Chains A and B, each alone.
Chain A
Amino acid sequence: MTAYIVRRLALMVPLLVGVSLVTFTLLYLVPGDPVQSLVGERATPQMVESIRRELGLDLPLHLRYGRWLARTVRGDLGRSWATHRPVMVSLIDRFPITLKLSVLAFALSTLLGVTVGVATAVREEAGGDHLARWALLGGQSVPIIYLCLVFMYVFGVWLRLTPVSGLGDGSIRYFLLPAGALGLYTSVYKARMTRSAMLEVLRQDYIRTARAKGLSERVVIYRHALKNAMVTVVTVLGAGLSALLVGSVLTETVFGLPGIGKLQIDGVYARDFPVVMGCFLFQAVVLSFTNLAMDMAYAWANPRIRFD
C-alpha cells in the first residue's frame, strides 16, 4: 500500500507539470496586450515598456515558464497584476470558503443521493414502475446555474428565509442556499449510481439466500445489499469530485461567494494571469489528491482489490 501511494505521488509530478505547461501556453496565446489593459489609456509607452520588463513579459515563452516554475516549486505563485497581493495569500484566504461550501455540499449530496438511490431501487425491485428513473434523469438535466437561481428566488426573494447572496459575516446562514443547490445538483448522479448498483446487487443469489433464511428486509437491504453496493458507489464518488469542483466555481459566481472559484473567474475577466494560473494549479492539485484518496477508500471498501 505504501509503495502504491509513493508511486501515485511520483506520477502526480509530471501530470502537474503538464497541467501548468498547458495552462501557461494557453495564457501566453492570449491576444491583445495584457499590460495595456492593466495600465489603461493614459500610460506613456515608456511606462508600458518598463512594466512589461518588470513582469518578464518581454521574454520568450520557455524562459518565462522556467522562471515561473522555479518560483512555484518554492511555493511562490507570484503577485496579482491587478492588486499586487501574492497569489498564494489570496488562495489561502479564500480556501476556507470553498472548503466549507464543498464539504457541506458533499455531505448533503452523499446523504441524499444514497438515500434516494436505495429507496428507489428497493421500490423498483418490489415491482414498482420506472418513474424514479425518469425523475432522476430529469434531475440530472437541470444546470447548476439554473438550480442556484431558482433557490435564490424561492428561498431568498419569495420566502425570505435566507440571505439572497454574498458572504455577509461568513456565518452558516450564507452557505445554506449555495450548499443546498450544489448538494442537490451533485446528489442526482450519486442517486443514479447507487440505484443501479443496488439493483445489480439485489439480483444476486446471496440476497435470495438471505431472504430465504428469514432475515428481516431491513437487514437484507442495509447489511447485505447496501454494503456491497457501496463498493461501486465509492468508486463513482471520485468522478463526482470533478463535478463538485466545477459546480463550486459556478455556484460561487452566482451567489457572489468569494471563494477560489470566484477568484478564478474574476481573474479571467481581469486577465490577471498569475491569479488564473494559481487557481488552475490549485484545482489540479486538489483533484489529484482527492482522486488518490478516493482510490484508497475504494481499496478499503473492497478487500479484493490489491495494489501490488
Chain B
Amino acid sequence: MGYGMDGLWARARRRLGRNRGARAGLVIVGTLAVAALLAPVLAPQPPGRMDLDRVLLPPGPGHPLGTDYFGRDMLSRLIYGARVSLTVGVVAQSLSATVGVTLGLVAGYCGGWTDLVIMRLVELMLCFPDLLLAVGLTVALGPGPYTLFLALGLVGWPGMARLVRGEALALRDREFLEAARATGTGPVRVLWGHLFPNCLSPVIIAVTGGMAACIMAEASLSFLGLGAQPPTPSWGSMLNLGRPYLHLAPHLVIFPGLAIALAVFGFNLLGDGLRDALDPRRSDFPG
C-alpha cells in the first residue's frame, strides 16, 4: 500500500462518483432509507387500515398499487415493508460484522491454536446452507423480530471471519505493526487501532453485499412464515399471503416481489461499485 489512508479514501470517493452503477445503487438505497424513515409521512394510509368493501382492487385511482385481501393499501404496506427489510439488514449485518471481524482479526493475528479453533468453528458453520441454518434457529427460538436479527446475524459471521482472517494474516508481519508493537502498544490497540483500519475496505464491501443477502434471506424466511409475523407488513410475508390470490389479483405478488428485487439490486450495485472503487485489483471492469 504505497499511499496513506487519505489518499485511498479520496481516490475511492472519486472512483465511486464516476461509477454509474454505484450512483444508481446509492439512489435506490437512499430512496429506501428515506421511505423507511418517513414511512408515516409518505404512506397514503396506515398500513393496517382495512376496508372490506374494497378488497383485491387492481391498481387505480385512490390506491396506486391496488388493495389486498383485507382492503389494505398496497403502496402503504410496501413503504412500511422497507422499514422491516432495512432494520433486519442493518441489525443483522452489525451483529455478523462485529462477531466476524473480531474473530477474524484475532484468528489471523494470533495464529496457532486460537486460529485453529476459530477456523474449525467457521468451517463447521459453513457446512450448513445459510438459509437452512436460519430456519433451524427460528425453530429453536420461535419466530419473531429478535429471532430474525439473531438468526441472520449468526448466519453471516463465518464468511466475514474468513475474509478478515485472510487480510490479517497478510498484514501481521508488516513493518507498521512491528513499529506499533515496538513502541509498546498493547495487543488490543494493535488489533483495533492499527490492523483493523487496514482491513476496512474488504469489510465495507462485504457488509454492503451482506445487506443484499440479508434482505433476500429475510424475505425467504418471512415467505416460509418463519420471519416477520402478520400483521407486520414484511415484503416476504406479503408475497406468501398473496400467493393464494395469484390468479385473481396478481398485483398482490408482483409488487412485493419487485420491491425485494429492487432493494437487493440497489445494494448489489452499490457493493459492486465499492469493490471497483476500493479494491481495483479485484475489479471485473477492464480498464
Give chain A's interface residues, CB within 8 Å of chain B.
15, 18-19, 22-23, 26-27, 29-32, 125, 130, 133-134, 137-138, 140-146, 149-150, 152-153, 157, 195-196, 199-200, 203, 242, 245-246, 249-250, 253-254, 264-265, 268-269, 271, 276, 280, 283-284, 287-288
Contact = CB atoms under 8 A, between A and B. Distances in A.
B268 interface: yes
A143 B139 contact: no
Contacts of A283: 129, 132
Nearest to B253: A149
A138 B269 CA distance: 9
A23 B135 CA distance: 11
Contacts, number: 129
Interface of B, secondary structure class, is: helix
B131 A246 contact: yes
B268 A246 contact: no
Contacts of A196: 284
Contacts of A140: 268
A203 B286 contact: yes
A26 B147 CA distance: 13
Interface of B: 21, 123-124, 127-132, 135-137, 139-142, 212, 216, 219-220, 223-226, 236, 239, 243, 246-247, 250, 253-254, 257, 260-262, 264-265, 268-269, 272, 284-286
A242 B124 contact: no
Contact of B261 (A27, A142, A249, A268): A142
Nearest to A154: B250
The 5 closest A-B CB pairs, nearest first, are A146-B257, A141-B265, A196-B284, A141-B264, A26-B140
Given A134-B21, A141-B264, A30 B139 contact: yes
Contacts of A143: 216, 219-220, 257, 260-261, 264
A146 B139 contact: no
Given A149-B257, A265-B224, A29 B141 contact: yes
Contact of A145 (B127, B140, B223, B272): B223
Contacts of B140: 26-27, 29-30
A283 B135 CA distance: 14
Most buried by A among B219, B257, B269: B257
A192 B283 CA distance: 13
B33 to A, nearest CB: 17
Contacts of A137: 21, 265, 268-269, 272
A305 to B, nearest CB: 20
A130 B20 CA distance: 10
A288 B127 contact: yes
A246 B216 contact: no
A29 B226 CA distance: 16
A246 B123 CA distance: 18
A144 B131 CA distance: 12
Contacts of A200: 284
Contacts of A249: 131-132
A291 to B, nearest CB: 9
Given A143-B264, A149-B243, A268 B127 contact: no
B139 A26 contact: yes
Contacts of B285: 130, 133
Contacts of A145: 219-220, 223, 236, 239, 257
B265 to A, nearest CB: 4
11 contacts: A30-B142, A125-B286, A130-B21, A134-B269, A138-B261, A143-B260, A146-B261, A157-B246, A280-B128, A280-B132, A288-B127
